Amino acid sequence: MLTLNHQLDLIRQSATVGMNDRVLELKASGRQIISLQVGDPDFATPQSVMDVALNVMKDGLTHYSPSRGFPDLRRAVATKLTRDEGLAYDPQSEILITHGGIHAYYTAMQSILNPGDDVLIPDPTWATHANMAIMLRGNVIRVPAPAENDFIPFFESWEKALTPKTKVIVLNYPSNPTGAYPTREYLEKLQDFAAANDLWIVSDEVYGSLYYAEKPTSAAAIDGARPRTLIVNSLSKTYAMTGWRVGYLAAPPQVIENALKAGQNSITCVAPFIQKAAAFALTDAAVQRVAAQMRTVYARRRELVSRIAREFESDKVLAAPPMGAFYFFLDFRPLKMTSSEICERILEEAGVALVPGSAFGAQGEGFARMTIAASDENVEIGFRKILEWAEHLKRSFENG
Ligand SMILES: Cc1ncc(COP(=O)(O)O)c(C=O)c1O
C-alpha cells in the first residue's frame, strides 16, 4: 500500500492562505472584501532595487550562484548587523544567504535539531515556528505568552516547560501576531537560563526594524549569547520584498556549515540577480530612507487605528496598539466565540478578512490578527466596519 508522511498529519494548512482562498472565492462571486489578513507590505519594492536586478540579469547573471551566497551580499548582511545591532559577524564563516526568512528558519532548525528533541515555542506565534519543528520531527512544547503579560511568557513558564530533552528556544520579536517584544533585562535572564541548560536560541528577527517604542534588542546582542544564538532574518518586510524570497541566517561557524548542507540540498542557491539586488537594498543609503518612510507610514496607520478605537471607546478591550511589526491583535474574548467563528462572521457580515488568532496557538483563541500593511483607506474603512459589527453584536446581546 502507498503511504504518506504521517508527520504532516500533525500540521494544519496555513490559516492565512486558507483565508486568502476564501477572499478570492468571495471576490469572484462579486462581493467587495477588504483584505486585512495578509502580512505583506502594500508598498512596491524600491525602484532602484528592481533596477539592480534587471541590469545584472541583462548582464547574464542568470545561472547558478555560490550556495553560501555571493561574498558581497554576505558582507552587506554583516554591515547591516553591525549598523543596526552592533554585532560583528564574519561574512565568510558566519552568514548564509537563504530563500527568505522561512528558509533561514528551516536551515537553522535543520542544523541543530535531532528527532525527538524538545523545542520551546511561545504561544501565540507565527504557525511555521511550530510546524517546521514538527516537520523535522522535533517535539514542540508551547510556552504561554498570555495577553495578561503583554504577550511575553512569564519567566516561570520557561522553567516549567523545560525537560531533559529540551534543545532549543525559538523567539520571534517583534512578534507576529502580537508585535510584542521583551526588555533587554528579560533577554539577559533568558540567556542565563539557556546557558544553564545548554539550549540553543533561534531568534526570528524579520520584524526587527519595525518598532514604535524603544528599539528591540537582538537576542544575539546579549552578553554571552552569540555562541548559542542563530539569527533568522530577511529583506521581505523591511524593504517590501516578500516576493523576492531572500533572507539570511547568522550563526556560529559550525552551525553555518550544517545550514549550508541544508541549503545546498533544498534550494542549491538563491537566484543571483536577487542576491545582487539584496546587497544593494541592505546598504544603499537612499533605500534605507525609503524603508524609513515605510515605517513612518505604518506608525501613522497604527495611530489611525488607535484613534478610531478611542472614538468607539473600544481601545482598551479590543485594540491595544502593537509595539512592533505591522499587526493589531484584536481582543474579541468578551464576545465568547471562537476566533474562527469571529473571523467567519466578520468576513460574511462586515466584508473584512482577518486571520483567526487560534492559527497562532491556543493563547490566540478569542483574538484576530488585523494587518496595517494595507492602504490607509482600507485600514480605516475595514477597522470601522469591524467595530460597527462588534457594537451591533453587543447591542443585540444587551437586547436579549
Ligand atoms: C515571524 C515571521 N517569520 C518569518 C516569516 C517569513 O519571512 P519570508 O517571507 O522572508 O520568508 C514571516 C512571514 O510572514 C513571519 O511573519
Single-letter amino acid, residue 246:
V
pLDDT of residue 316: 66
Question: According to the model, what pLDDT value does residue 14 have?
Answer: 79
pLDDT of residue 315 exceeding 70, the answer is no
The end-to-end CA distance of the chain, in Å, is: 56
pLDDT at 394: 82
Strand partners, 367: 331
Amino acid letter at 42? D
d(CA 340, CA 97): 37
pLDDT at 176 > cutoff 70: yes
- Residue among 239, 330, 343 nearest 283 (CA): 239
For each of the domains in the chain, give its residue range(s) and CATH number, in order of start. Answer: 6-44+287-393 (3.90.1150.10), 60-283 (3.40.640.10)
Task: Give 340's contacts (C-beta < 8 A, 6+ positions apart).
Answer: 356, 358
| Ligand 1 geometric centre to CA of 135 (Å) | 17
The pLDDT of residue 312 = 85
Cβ of 206 closer than 6 Å to ligand 1, yes or no, is: yes
Q: What is the mean pLDDT of residues 30-39?
A: 94
Contact yes or no for 167/139 (Cβ under 8 A): no
- Condensed to tens digits (0 to 9), the pLDDT of residues 66-77 reads 999 999 999 999
Q: Indicate if the pLDDT at residue 152 is higher than 70.
A: yes
Q: For a ligand 1 pocket test, name from 16, 109, 132, 206 the mutation site with the most ligand atoms within 8 angstroms of its C-beta.
A: 206
Residue located via cell numbers 436579549: 400
Buried b (16+ CB within 10 A) or exposed e, 96-124: bbbbbbbbbbbbbbbbbbeeebbbbbbbb
Q: Residue 352: what pLDDT? A: 97
Residue nearest to atom 7 of ligand 1 (CA): 101
Q: Please give the pLDDT value at position 361.
A: 97
Q: At what angle do helices 127-135 and 100-112 cross, to 10 degrees?
A: 40
* CA 206 to ligand 1 centroid distance, Å: 6
Query: pLDDT per residue over 195-223, tens digit each?
Result: 999 999 999 999 999 999 999 999 999 99
pLDDT higher than 90, residue 368? yes
From 121, 126, 132, mutation site for ligand 1 pocket: most ligand atoms within 8 A of C-beta: 126
Residue 224 clears pLDDT 90, i.e. is over it: yes
Q: Is 208 in the pocket of ligand 1 (CB under 6 A)?
A: no
pTM: 0.97
Mean pLDDT of the chain: 96
Say how many Å lie between the CA of residue 195 and the centre of ligand 1: 27
Q: Say what the pLDDT of residue 356 is.
A: 96
pLDDT at 172 over 90: yes
